[in-house]
Amino acid sequence: MTHQFKFDVIIIGSGAAGLSAALHLPGSLKIAVLAKTPGEQHSSYWAQGGISAVLEPDDSVDQHAQDTIEAGAGLCDEAVVRFCATAGRENIEWLAQLGMPFSRDRQEISDSGFHLTREGGHSRRRVVHAADATGKALQQTLQAHVLERDNIRIFNQHVAIDLIHRRKKCVGLYALNRHDQHVDLFRAHKIVLATGGAAKVYLYTSNPDGSTGDGIAMAWRAGCRVANMEFIQFHPTCLYHPDAKSFLITEAIRGEGGRLLLPDGHRFMKDFDSRAELAPRDIVARAIDHEMKRLGIDCVFLDISHKSRAFIKSHFPTIYQRCRDFDIDITRQPIPVVPAAHYTCGGVMVDINGHTNLENLYAVGEVAYSGLHGANRMASNSLLECLVFSQAAARKIAEEIDTSRKLPVLERWDESQVTDSDEDIVVAHNWDELRRFMWDYVGIVRTNKRLERALHRTELLKSEINEYYGNYKVSADLLELRNLVVVAELIIRSALARKESRGLHFTLDYPETRDAFRVPTILDPDQHQKSPAKLATI
């Protein structure tokens, strides 16, 4: 049976961004959090490294900003970068007050009291962490406090389908209730997208299964602009093992002296960048990709075994145990690793408060393009962005919301003209085809020919999927596939528009960086038919 619900604020997504936004909103507001998957299936849950923040006297907001801008290859919004770097300390202190179990400095040499690590792109130790399972600790801390709040209701197993908008105002959404397979109607004064990224559009990814670009696709269909979708970050080091299912090996291992090696033991990163293993992720990922293709090898190796056994087990307990599960003792032998799609640097365009160009609609976390990351995200700036923009959006919503305003009456979901599908194999086949050609044609190294092939296949798939969507009852797999094909097209069209190589976008046809393209790639739904991809300054 279809249900109708009314709330002051609806947050779509229950990862770090969604839960922190819920906690920052006033307790007087009636809030719904739509959770597509359990907490452990969010990307933020699996974040190992930590949260970057300026906490020590030898560091500064200026230095953090400079490092971020350098990693972003000239496309960061400097005002946004400084905004986030400045807000780092406040958010770490907020989490500490919530009881977040950060790793502490046992030697008492840090002024902050936190144990700080250094990761790729950072010039200082400024990454606050909870051993090597920061995301898990963050998710569990936030979730515990959300469950204590009487004004917050969590709707588990609800997959958002589409936003409902009237005259450029977002007023609600439809969501599939996976418990009974009916579509529920939600109305609200304000809606927050916190749905994460879209790395599942690639065959190999470090992300959980739910990273299917739902919020980006829904916002695009509703009329929101998106930006910088060509910049997909491939994490350089995911565990290479047939049973590992893309287990991430944290960048902190390289920060603590881990060395990348070829099968013959050659330390190859020095051949590509003077910073060696501490170069930004795009450089490291391309170097690994180059060596794998040059030598025809399946993986490279990450070695931390020169550190003491006690150091490794205390700093990286999760990775140590996970590798032991696959008969790899990282205290004695190197870890086989490969790059995998990891982070979506582009997304739904937002302002400094997380507001989109659609009234009443906000986007926070990986789903959003805020201007922080530019052409490449610096390590551990993602959780920082989640926290800072969730706080900013919550403050703006609290200032502007008028709960006395009457919400419009909306139509319930109509499925009277559709039937149950007896062709689920079509969805499964399209899933596989999409992710394979995105990996082959729109991966770490690109060409115009590959991109055009991918675009042609995307258009064919989109036609098939839309026909299927119109004739059969919706399922979670169909909805995610429908969103992924939209995201795939946005990535491809953005990549075709950028006729240069910059940051995470590397094309053999235009290997040099060009000043004319030192602007974000902005796609506008209103102009999509006239000009599929337009470059413009924000």
Question: Residue 405 falls within a domain, yes or no?
Answer: no
Quick: pLDDT tens for 47-80: 777 999 999 999 999 999 999 999 999 999 999 9
Using alpha carbons, select from 49, 217, 8, 195 the residue that is nearest to residue 134. 49
CATH code at 508? 1.20.58.100
227-231, 261-265, 375-379 — which is least confidently predicted? 375-379
**Residue 283 clears pLDDT 70, i.e. is over it:** yes
What are the DSSP calls for 347-411, one per residue? Answer: EEE--TTSB-SSBTEEE-GGGEE-SSSTTSPPTTHHHHHHHHHHHHHHHHHHHH--TTSPPPP-P
Q: Mean pLDDT across the chain, nearest whole number?
A: 92
Q: Which residue numbers are catalytic?
A: 281
- The answer on 372 and 270 residing in a single domain is no
Structure tokens at 224: 């929101």
- The answer on 114 and 11 residing in a single domain is yes
- The answer on 206 and 195 residing in a single domain is yes
More confident residue, 41 or 524: 524
CATH code at 213? 3.50.50.60
For 445, phi then psi, to 5°, come to -120, 130
Question: Residue 528 falls within a domain, yes or no?
Answer: no
- The answer on 162 and 39 residing in a single domain is yes
- The answer on 288 and 336 residing in a single domain is yes
Using alpha carbons, select from 146, 200, 102 the residue that is nearest to residue 13. 146
* Rounded Cα–Cα distance for residues 352 and 45 (Å): 25
DSSP state, 279? Answer: S
Q: What is the pLDDT of residue 399?
A: 97
The reported pTM is: 0.90
183: left (phi over 0), alpha (psi -120 to 50) or beta: beta
Instruction: Name 207's Cβ contacts closer than 8 Å, sequence gap at least 6.
Output: 43, 46, 196, 197, 199, 200, 246, 341, 342
The number of distinct structural domains making up the chain is 3
Which of 341, 356, 386 terminates a domain? The answer is 341
- The answer on 370 and 321 residing in a single domain is no
- The answer on 450 and 505 residing in a single domain is yes
For 8, phi then psi, to 5°, come to -70, -45
- The answer on 243 and 133 residing in a single domain is no
Domain residue limits at 470: 424-516
